[in-house]
A = this chain, B = another copy of it.
Amino acid sequence: MKPVPAPLSAEDDLRSAETQAGAFQAVREARRSELAEDYVELIAELIAHFGEARPVDIASRLGVTAPTVAKTLDRLARDGLVMRARYRSVFLTDQGRALAEECRVRHDIVVRFLIRLGLDAETAEQDAEGIEHHVSARTLALFAAFAERRGQPETR
């Protein structure tokens, strides 16, 4: 078969292989940081509300088992996002705290955006959990503008 044969269906063109590959690479990159972001964001929440972040609470709120949390926290510690001492709660490093704050802001924008769009708060929270990691800076800015704009929520 020829390297680039003419399209059989001429409706719309495909993006170039390179462009498409770039998009997928960006997605894979985002996927790699997602878990770390979920952890630091949750840890910051727990510390803000309960004064400390215990592995057992992280586990129950993430819906995974304690050993999974332990292993992940070790990785986060290795990567400089958290500090931990054996049998103690977890704390964020400066880097971890910065990341958590960034995530919190982004998360809030996405949630408020979805609610403004007409979604119920519960589903907005759920969807935001997945969406937030894949929103570029430009899109986030548009979300923020839409969320903040004056007017009643779009209930149609």
Give chain A's interface residues, CB within 8 Å of chain B: 1, 5, 7-9, 14-15, 17, 19-28, 30-31, 34, 38, 42, 45, 48-52, 54, 57, 60-64, 114, 117-120, 122-123, 125-127, 129-131, 133-136, 138-139, 142-143, 145-146, 154, 156
Contacts and interface: CB of A to CB of B under 8 A. Distances in A.
A110 B26 CA distance: 17
Contacts of A52: 1
A52 to B, nearest CB: 7
Contacts of A142: 114, 117-119, 154
A139 B125 contact: no
Count of identical protomers in the assembly:
2
B130 A14 contact: no
Contacts of A146: 117, 154
Contacts of A54: 1
A21 B62 CA distance: 5
A26 B130 contact: yes
Contact of A63 (B22, B42, B62): B22
